[in-house]
Protein backbone atom coordinates (compact mmCIF):
# COMPACT_ATOMS: atom_id res chain seq x y z
CA UNK A 1 0.00 0.00 0.00
CA UNK A 2 1.41 3.38 -1.01
CA UNK A 3 1.90 5.76 1.93
CA UNK A 4 2.21 9.44 1.14
CA UNK A 5 2.68 12.27 3.60
CA UNK A 6 3.04 15.92 2.61
CA UNK A 7 4.74 18.19 5.13
CA UNK A 8 3.11 21.44 4.06
CA UNK A 9 3.92 25.11 4.67
CA UNK A 10 7.05 24.51 6.76
CA UNK A 11 10.48 26.13 6.67
CA UNK A 12 12.98 23.51 5.48
CA UNK A 13 16.57 23.56 6.74
CA UNK A 14 18.95 21.01 5.24
CA UNK A 15 22.61 22.08 5.41
CA UNK A 16 23.70 19.05 3.37
CA UNK A 17 21.88 20.54 0.37
CA UNK A 18 22.24 24.19 1.30
CA UNK A 19 18.47 24.41 1.70
CA UNK A 20 17.12 27.11 3.99
CA UNK A 21 13.73 28.22 2.75
CA UNK A 22 9.97 27.77 2.92
CA UNK A 23 8.94 24.58 1.12
CA UNK A 24 6.59 21.64 1.14
CA UNK A 25 8.19 18.20 1.49
CA UNK A 26 6.65 15.00 0.12
CA UNK A 27 7.37 11.60 1.68
CA UNK A 28 6.33 8.32 0.09
CA UNK A 29 6.85 4.75 1.26
CA UNK A 30 9.42 5.77 3.81
CA UNK A 31 11.52 7.87 1.43
CA UNK A 32 11.89 11.53 0.58
CA UNK A 33 10.33 12.31 -2.79
CA UNK A 34 11.24 15.99 -3.02
CA UNK A 35 10.45 19.63 -2.30
CA UNK A 36 7.73 21.80 -3.78
CA UNK A 37 6.49 25.35 -3.28
CA UNK A 38 3.94 26.43 -0.71
CA UNK A 39 0.50 26.50 -2.28
CA UNK A 40 1.16 23.73 -4.81
CA UNK A 41 -1.55 21.12 -5.21
CA UNK A 42 -1.60 18.26 -2.73
CA UNK A 43 -0.49 15.03 -4.46
CA UNK A 44 -3.28 12.55 -4.97
CA UNK A 45 -3.77 10.22 -2.01
CA UNK A 46 -1.47 12.11 0.33
CA UNK A 47 -2.10 12.94 3.96
CA UNK A 48 -1.04 16.44 4.92
CA UNK A 49 0.84 17.61 7.97
CA UNK A 50 0.46 21.37 8.39
CA UNK A 51 3.90 22.72 9.40
CA UNK A 52 3.01 26.40 9.29
CA UNK A 53 5.43 28.29 11.53
CA UNK A 54 7.59 25.20 12.08
CA UNK A 55 11.13 24.20 11.12
CA UNK A 56 11.39 21.01 9.05
CA UNK A 57 14.81 19.36 9.41
CA UNK A 58 16.48 16.03 8.68
CA UNK A 59 15.97 13.59 11.53
CA UNK A 60 18.27 14.30 14.46
CA UNK A 61 20.92 11.67 15.29
CA UNK A 62 22.23 11.19 18.83
CA UNK A 63 25.69 9.64 18.58
CA UNK A 64 25.99 8.72 22.24
CA UNK A 65 23.31 7.00 24.32
CA UNK A 66 23.24 4.21 26.89
CA UNK A 67 20.17 2.01 26.52
CA UNK A 68 21.22 -0.54 29.21
CA UNK A 69 19.64 -3.55 27.48
CA UNK A 70 20.70 -6.34 27.68
CA UNK A 71 21.45 -6.74 31.35
CA UNK A 72 20.20 -3.60 33.08
CA UNK A 73 16.59 -3.39 31.97
CA UNK A 74 15.53 -1.99 35.36
CA UNK A 75 17.27 1.26 34.29
CA UNK A 76 16.23 1.36 30.64
CA UNK A 77 15.16 -0.89 27.82
CA UNK A 78 15.79 -0.39 24.13
CA UNK A 79 12.05 0.25 23.71
CA UNK A 80 11.84 2.85 26.51
CA UNK A 81 15.06 4.52 25.34
CA UNK A 82 13.74 4.68 21.78
CA UNK A 83 10.52 6.23 23.10
CA UNK A 84 12.53 8.88 24.97
CA UNK A 85 14.53 9.50 21.81
CA UNK A 86 11.56 10.29 19.59
CA UNK A 87 10.01 12.37 22.39
CA UNK A 88 13.16 14.46 22.30
CA UNK A 89 13.19 14.78 18.51
CA UNK A 90 15.81 12.12 17.74
CA UNK A 91 15.04 9.71 14.91
CA UNK A 92 18.28 7.73 15.27
CA UNK A 93 20.35 6.91 18.34
CA UNK A 94 23.70 5.15 18.59
CA UNK A 95 23.84 2.70 21.49
CA UNK A 96 27.05 2.38 23.48
CA UNK A 97 28.28 -1.16 24.18
CA UNK A 98 28.47 -1.08 28.01
CA UNK A 99 25.61 -3.52 28.49
CA UNK A 100 25.71 -6.91 30.25
CA UNK A 101 26.97 -8.81 28.35
CA UNK A 102 29.01 -6.09 26.67
CA UNK A 103 28.38 -5.65 22.96
CA UNK A 104 31.70 -7.16 21.87
CA UNK A 105 30.27 -9.79 19.55
CA UNK A 106 27.81 -10.19 16.70
CA UNK A 107 25.15 -11.93 18.81
CA UNK A 108 24.68 -8.92 21.11
CA UNK A 109 24.75 -6.56 18.12
CA UNK A 110 21.95 -8.49 16.43
CA UNK A 111 19.93 -8.57 19.66
CA UNK A 112 20.05 -4.77 19.99
CA UNK A 113 18.94 -4.28 16.39
CA UNK A 114 16.11 -6.81 16.72
CA UNK A 115 14.81 -5.21 19.92
CA UNK A 116 14.82 -1.78 18.27
CA UNK A 117 12.95 -3.08 15.23
CA UNK A 118 10.37 -4.64 17.53
CA UNK A 119 9.86 -1.31 19.30
CA UNK A 120 9.28 0.47 15.97
CA UNK A 121 10.27 3.94 17.16
CA UNK A 122 13.73 5.49 16.75
CA UNK A 123 16.33 3.62 14.77
CA UNK A 124 18.98 2.17 17.08
CA UNK A 125 22.45 1.74 15.60
CA UNK A 126 24.77 -0.28 17.86
CA UNK A 127 28.34 0.73 18.64
CA UNK A 128 30.58 -2.27 19.28
CA UNK A 129 33.30 -2.58 21.90
CA UNK A 130 36.92 -1.92 20.93
CA UNK A 131 38.25 -4.66 23.19
CA UNK A 132 36.74 -7.88 24.49
CA UNK A 133 34.63 -7.17 27.55
CA UNK A 134 35.94 -3.59 27.23
CA UNK A 135 38.85 -4.80 29.33
CA UNK A 136 41.51 -3.05 27.24
CA UNK A 137 43.65 -6.14 26.68
CA UNK A 138 42.43 -7.95 23.54
CA UNK A 139 40.74 -6.51 20.45
CA UNK A 140 37.12 -7.47 19.81
CA UNK A 141 36.00 -9.03 16.52
CA UNK A 142 35.17 -5.78 14.76
CA UNK A 143 34.60 -7.36 11.36
CA UNK A 144 31.95 -9.77 12.63
CA UNK A 145 30.22 -7.00 14.54
CA UNK A 146 30.24 -4.74 11.48
CA UNK A 147 28.63 -7.49 9.42
CA UNK A 148 25.97 -7.72 12.15
CA UNK A 149 25.30 -3.97 12.09
CA UNK A 150 27.64 -1.85 14.25
CA UNK A 151 28.54 1.59 12.90
CA UNK A 152 31.53 2.44 15.17
CA UNK A 153 33.61 1.03 18.02
CA UNK A 154 34.16 2.35 21.54
CA UNK A 155 34.94 1.15 25.04
CA UNK A 156 33.29 4.37 26.27
CA UNK A 157 33.45 4.62 30.08
CA UNK A 158 36.40 2.24 30.10
CA UNK A 159 38.82 4.20 27.92
CA UNK A 160 41.51 2.21 26.11
CA UNK A 161 44.30 2.31 28.72
CA UNK A 162 47.49 2.35 26.65
CA UNK A 163 48.67 4.10 23.51
CA UNK A 164 49.91 0.81 22.11
CA UNK A 165 46.53 -0.86 22.38
CA UNK A 166 44.79 2.21 20.98
CA UNK A 167 47.15 2.25 18.02
CA UNK A 168 46.35 -1.39 17.23
CA UNK A 169 42.63 -0.69 17.66
CA UNK A 170 42.78 2.25 15.26
CA UNK A 171 44.68 0.26 12.65
CA UNK A 172 42.23 -2.63 12.94
CA UNK A 173 39.16 -0.38 12.84
CA UNK A 174 40.52 1.46 9.82
CA UNK A 175 40.51 -1.82 7.89
CA UNK A 176 36.75 -2.04 8.42
CA UNK A 177 36.16 1.71 7.87
CA UNK A 178 34.82 2.06 11.41
CA UNK A 179 35.33 5.26 13.41
CA UNK A 180 36.94 4.83 16.82
CA UNK A 181 35.06 6.72 19.56
CA UNK A 182 36.94 7.30 22.80
CA UNK A 183 35.96 8.57 26.23
CA UNK A 184 39.15 10.50 26.98
CA UNK A 185 40.19 9.86 30.55
CA UNK A 186 43.55 8.83 31.94
CA UNK A 187 42.40 6.79 34.94
CA UNK A 188 45.78 7.16 36.64
CA UNK A 189 45.26 10.94 36.67
CA UNK A 190 41.52 10.88 37.40
CA UNK A 191 42.42 9.02 40.60
CA UNK A 192 38.91 7.95 41.58
CA UNK A 193 37.61 11.51 41.50
CA UNK A 194 33.89 12.22 41.60
CA UNK A 195 33.80 15.81 40.31
CA UNK A 196 35.99 18.38 38.56
CA UNK A 197 39.21 19.20 40.36
CA UNK A 198 39.17 22.88 41.19
CA UNK A 199 37.75 25.47 43.53
CA UNK A 200 34.51 23.63 44.28
CA UNK A 201 36.09 20.23 44.89
CA UNK A 202 38.33 21.93 47.45
CA UNK A 203 35.42 23.75 49.11
CA UNK A 204 33.24 20.61 49.18
CA UNK A 205 36.04 18.29 50.28
CA UNK A 206 35.52 15.82 47.44
CA UNK A 207 38.03 14.02 45.26
CA UNK A 208 38.60 15.89 42.02
CA UNK A 209 39.20 14.79 38.43
CA UNK A 210 41.67 17.21 36.82
CA UNK A 211 41.08 18.53 33.32
CA UNK A 212 44.48 17.08 32.46
CA UNK A 213 43.07 13.54 32.81
CA UNK A 214 40.89 14.20 29.75
CA UNK A 215 43.42 16.29 27.88
CA UNK A 216 46.24 13.72 28.02
CA UNK A 217 44.07 11.12 26.28
CA UNK A 218 42.70 13.68 23.81
CA UNK A 219 46.24 14.62 22.76
CA UNK A 220 47.18 10.94 22.53
CA UNK A 221 44.22 10.08 20.31
CA UNK A 222 44.84 13.00 17.97
CA UNK A 223 48.49 11.99 17.59
CA UNK A 224 47.49 8.40 16.88
CA UNK A 225 44.94 9.54 14.29
CA UNK A 226 47.86 11.13 12.44
CA UNK A 227 49.95 7.97 12.81
CA UNK A 228 47.28 5.48 11.73
CA UNK A 229 44.99 7.47 9.44
CA UNK A 230 42.01 6.10 11.35
CA UNK A 231 38.81 8.10 11.84
CA UNK A 232 38.84 9.17 15.47
CA UNK A 233 35.94 10.75 17.37
CA UNK A 234 36.30 12.16 20.87
CA UNK A 235 33.18 11.64 22.96
CA UNK A 236 31.67 14.35 25.18
CA UNK A 237 34.63 16.75 25.26
CA UNK A 238 34.48 18.87 28.40
CA UNK A 239 37.77 20.78 28.71
CA UNK A 240 39.46 23.65 26.96
CA UNK A 241 42.59 21.58 26.36
CA UNK A 242 40.70 18.72 24.70
CA UNK A 243 38.93 21.14 22.37
CA UNK A 244 42.23 22.81 21.51
CA UNK A 245 43.71 19.40 20.71
CA UNK A 246 40.88 18.74 18.27
CA UNK A 247 41.25 22.22 16.78
CA UNK A 248 44.95 21.62 16.10
CA UNK A 249 44.25 18.19 14.61
CA UNK A 250 41.66 19.66 12.24
CA UNK A 251 44.12 22.37 11.18
CA UNK A 252 46.54 19.58 10.22
CA UNK A 253 43.83 17.85 8.19
CA UNK A 254 43.62 14.82 10.48
CA UNK A 255 40.41 12.72 10.53
CA UNK A 256 39.45 13.82 14.04
CA UNK A 257 35.96 14.88 15.15
CA UNK A 258 34.29 15.44 18.51
CA UNK A 259 30.95 15.95 20.25
CA UNK A 260 29.70 17.94 23.25
CA UNK A 261 26.91 17.06 25.67
CA UNK A 262 24.29 19.65 26.72
CA UNK A 263 25.04 19.48 30.44
CA UNK A 264 28.62 20.56 29.78
CA UNK A 265 27.54 23.88 28.26
CA UNK A 266 24.59 24.37 30.64
CA UNK A 267 26.02 23.74 34.12
CA UNK A 268 29.31 24.25 35.92
CA UNK A 269 30.82 22.44 38.91
CA UNK A 270 29.20 25.06 41.14
CA UNK A 271 25.99 23.02 40.72
CA UNK A 272 27.56 20.23 42.79
CA UNK A 273 27.51 22.32 45.99
CA UNK A 274 24.13 20.91 47.03
CA UNK A 275 25.48 17.35 46.72
CA UNK A 276 22.70 16.44 44.28
CA UNK A 277 23.88 13.21 42.67
CA UNK A 278 22.09 14.25 39.48
CA UNK A 279 25.07 16.58 39.00
CA UNK A 280 27.49 13.62 39.04
CA UNK A 281 28.60 12.64 35.56
CA UNK A 282 31.69 11.60 33.67
CA UNK A 283 33.32 13.71 32.36
CA UNK A 284 32.31 15.88 35.31
CA UNK A 285 30.75 19.30 35.21
CA UNK A 286 33.68 21.68 34.74
CA UNK A 287 34.47 25.28 35.69
CA UNK A 288 33.22 28.32 33.77
CA UNK A 289 36.43 28.58 31.73
CA UNK A 290 35.88 25.12 30.27
CA UNK A 291 32.18 25.80 29.68
CA UNK A 292 33.14 28.93 27.74
CA UNK A 293 35.53 26.87 25.60
CA UNK A 294 32.75 24.43 24.72
CA UNK A 295 30.46 27.26 23.68
CA UNK A 296 33.21 28.73 21.52
CA UNK A 297 33.89 25.32 19.96
CA UNK A 298 30.22 24.95 19.08
CA UNK A 299 30.25 28.42 17.57
CA UNK A 300 33.43 28.13 15.51
CA UNK A 301 32.95 24.60 14.19
CA UNK A 302 35.61 22.81 16.22
CA UNK A 303 32.90 20.71 17.87
CA UNK A 304 31.13 18.65 15.21
CA UNK A 305 28.10 17.23 16.98
CA UNK A 306 25.72 17.47 19.90
CA UNK A 307 25.19 14.19 21.77
CA UNK A 308 23.13 13.67 24.90
CA UNK A 309 25.24 11.00 26.65
CA UNK A 310 21.87 9.71 27.91
CA UNK A 311 22.81 7.57 30.95
CA UNK A 312 19.79 6.29 32.90
CA UNK A 313 20.14 5.03 36.49
CA UNK A 314 17.58 3.77 38.97
CA UNK A 315 16.48 6.20 41.70
CA UNK A 316 17.84 3.90 44.44
CA UNK A 317 21.32 4.09 42.89
CA UNK A 318 21.26 7.87 42.65
CA UNK A 319 20.00 8.06 46.25
CA UNK A 320 23.40 6.89 47.52
CA UNK A 321 25.98 9.30 48.91
CA UNK A 322 27.72 11.39 46.27
CA UNK A 323 30.93 9.34 46.39
CA UNK A 324 29.02 6.09 45.88
CA UNK A 325 26.36 7.11 43.35
CA UNK A 326 26.90 6.20 39.66
CA UNK A 327 27.92 8.74 37.05
CA UNK A 328 25.39 9.96 34.48
CA UNK A 329 22.07 11.63 33.76
CA UNK A 330 19.25 11.07 31.28
CA UNK A 331 19.32 13.55 28.41
CA UNK A 332 17.38 12.49 25.33
CA UNK A 333 14.32 14.58 26.15
CA UNK A 334 16.15 17.73 27.27
CA UNK A 335 19.06 17.93 24.79
CA UNK A 336 17.20 19.93 22.18
CA UNK A 337 15.62 22.24 24.75
CA UNK A 338 19.05 23.04 26.22
CA UNK A 339 20.49 23.62 22.76
CA UNK A 340 17.69 26.03 21.92
CA UNK A 341 17.87 27.81 25.29
CA UNK A 342 21.62 28.16 25.74
CA UNK A 343 22.82 28.28 22.13
CA UNK A 344 20.19 29.35 19.58
CA UNK A 345 18.16 31.72 21.74
CA UNK A 346 21.36 33.31 23.08
CA UNK A 347 22.61 33.97 19.55
CA UNK A 348 25.59 31.60 19.89
CA UNK A 349 24.59 29.53 16.87
CA UNK A 350 21.92 29.68 14.17
CA UNK A 351 19.14 27.18 13.61
CA UNK A 352 21.04 25.99 10.54
CA UNK A 353 24.12 25.32 12.67
CA UNK A 354 21.91 23.44 15.16
CA UNK A 355 20.68 21.13 12.38
CA UNK A 356 24.27 20.65 11.26
CA UNK A 357 25.31 19.64 14.79
CA UNK A 358 22.36 17.31 15.34
CA UNK A 359 21.82 15.75 11.91
CA UNK A 360 24.21 16.64 9.09
CA UNK A 361 27.49 16.10 10.93
CA UNK A 362 26.58 12.94 12.88
CA UNK A 363 25.52 11.33 9.58
CA UNK A 364 28.79 12.42 7.97
CA UNK A 365 30.97 11.21 10.84
CA UNK A 366 29.29 7.80 10.91
CA UNK A 367 29.03 7.50 7.10
CA UNK A 368 25.22 7.25 7.27
CA UNK A 369 24.66 8.37 3.70
CA UNK A 370 20.93 7.62 3.93
CA UNK A 371 20.39 9.97 6.89
CA UNK A 372 21.13 13.51 7.95
CA UNK A 373 19.64 15.05 4.81
CA UNK A 374 16.32 15.48 3.03
CA UNK A 375 17.83 14.70 -0.36
CA UNK A 376 15.55 12.85 -2.76
CA UNK A 377 15.57 9.11 -2.18
CA UNK A 378 16.92 9.19 1.37
CA UNK A 379 15.16 7.83 4.47
CA UNK A 380 12.12 9.86 5.43
CA UNK A 381 13.39 10.72 8.92
CA UNK A 382 12.40 14.22 10.02
CA UNK A 383 12.54 16.37 13.13
CA UNK A 384 9.98 19.18 13.13
CA UNK A 385 10.71 22.05 15.50
CA UNK A 386 8.78 24.93 16.96
CA UNK A 387 11.46 27.45 17.95
CA UNK A 388 8.97 29.52 19.96
CA UNK A 389 7.11 26.86 21.91
CA UNK A 390 7.46 27.18 25.69
CA UNK A 391 7.28 23.91 27.61
CA UNK A 392 8.21 22.47 30.98
CA UNK A 393 10.11 19.22 31.41
CA UNK A 394 8.41 17.00 33.95
CA UNK A 395 10.65 14.02 34.71
CA UNK A 396 7.69 12.07 36.09
CA UNK A 397 6.24 12.08 32.55
CA UNK A 398 9.49 11.06 30.89
CA UNK A 399 9.42 8.19 28.44
CA UNK A 400 12.64 6.89 29.98
CA UNK A 401 12.44 4.36 32.79
CA UNK A 402 14.83 6.51 34.85
CA UNK A 403 14.46 10.03 36.23
CA UNK A 404 18.05 11.07 37.02
CA UNK A 405 18.20 14.62 35.71
CA UNK A 406 19.11 18.03 37.15
CA UNK A 407 16.62 19.64 34.73
CA UNK A 408 13.36 18.37 36.23
CA UNK A 409 10.84 21.22 36.23
CA UNK A 410 12.94 23.37 33.92
CA UNK A 411 11.07 25.52 31.40
CA UNK A 412 12.39 25.71 27.84
CA UNK A 413 11.62 27.74 24.72
CA UNK A 414 11.94 25.64 21.57
CA UNK A 415 10.95 22.00 21.11
CA UNK A 416 10.60 19.12 18.71
CA UNK A 417 6.86 18.95 18.18
CA UNK A 418 6.83 16.05 15.74
CA UNK A 419 9.22 13.20 15.02
CA UNK A 420 8.92 11.20 11.81
CA UNK A 421 10.78 7.92 11.29
CA UNK A 422 10.63 6.09 7.98
CA UNK A 423 7.75 8.30 6.84
CA UNK A 424 5.64 7.56 9.95
CA UNK A 425 4.74 10.12 12.61
CA UNK A 426 5.98 8.33 15.72
CA UNK A 427 5.70 11.21 18.18
CA UNK A 428 3.74 14.42 18.63
CA UNK A 429 4.60 16.66 21.57
CA UNK A 430 1.84 16.18 24.19
CA UNK A 431 1.85 19.83 25.24
CA UNK A 432 1.46 20.98 21.67
CA UNK A 433 -1.28 18.82 20.24
CA UNK A 434 -4.56 20.61 19.58
CA UNK A 435 -6.39 18.43 17.07
CA UNK A 436 -5.32 15.30 15.24
CA UNK A 437 -7.77 14.52 12.47
CA UNK A 438 -8.46 10.92 11.42
CA UNK A 439 -5.75 9.86 9.00
CA UNK A 440 -7.28 9.38 5.58
CA UNK A 441 -6.11 10.54 2.13
CA UNK A 442 -6.27 14.31 1.86
CA UNK A 443 -6.66 14.87 5.61
CA UNK A 444 -4.88 17.80 7.20
CA UNK A 445 -3.08 16.70 10.35
CA UNK A 446 -3.31 19.80 12.54
CA UNK A 447 -1.32 20.76 15.59
What is the sign of the dihedral through the CA atoms of 361, 261, 405 and 349?
negative
Q: What torsion do the CA atoms of 102, 286, 405, 296 make, to the nearest 10 degrees?
A: -100
- Residue 54: name the closest of 22, 91, 93 by CA: 22
Say which of 104, 269, 309, 386 is annotated catalytic: 309
223 Cβ contact partners less than 8 Å away, ≥ 6 residues apart: none
For residue 398, give Cα distances in angstroms to 35, 72, 116, 342, 421.
34, 18, 19, 22, 20
**Do 212 and 220 meet the contact criterion of CB atoms below 8 Å apart?**
no
Distance of CA 71 to the CA centre of its chain: 22
- Determine the length of the chain: 447
| SS percent in the chain: helix, strand, coil, step 5 | 35, 25, 45
Give one DSSP letter per residue of 378-430, joined into a string: SB--EEEEEEEEEEE--GGG-SSS----TTTT-EEEEEEEEEEETTEEEEE-T
Q: How many other C-beta atoms can be found within 10 angstroms of the C-beta atom of residue 162? A: 11
**What phi-psi label fits residue 116: left (phi over 0), alpha (psi between -120 and 50 degrees) or beta?**
alpha
**Do 362 and 63 meet the contact criterion of CB atoms below 8 Å apart?**
yes
Active site residue 309: yes
Q: Which residues carry out catalysis?
A: 309
Amino acid sequence: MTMKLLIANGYVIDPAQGTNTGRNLLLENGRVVGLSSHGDAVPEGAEVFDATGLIVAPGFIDMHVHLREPGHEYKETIASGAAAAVAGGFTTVCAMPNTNPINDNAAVTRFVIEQAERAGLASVLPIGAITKNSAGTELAEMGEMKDAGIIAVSDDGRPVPTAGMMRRAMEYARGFDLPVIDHCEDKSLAGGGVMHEGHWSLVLGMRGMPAAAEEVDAERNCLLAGLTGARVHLAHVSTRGAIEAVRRAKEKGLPVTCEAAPHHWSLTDEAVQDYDTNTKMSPPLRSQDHLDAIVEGLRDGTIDAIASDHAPHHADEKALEYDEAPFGIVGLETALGLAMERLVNQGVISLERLVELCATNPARILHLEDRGTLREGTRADLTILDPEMTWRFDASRSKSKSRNTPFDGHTFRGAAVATIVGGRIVHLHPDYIRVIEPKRPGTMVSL
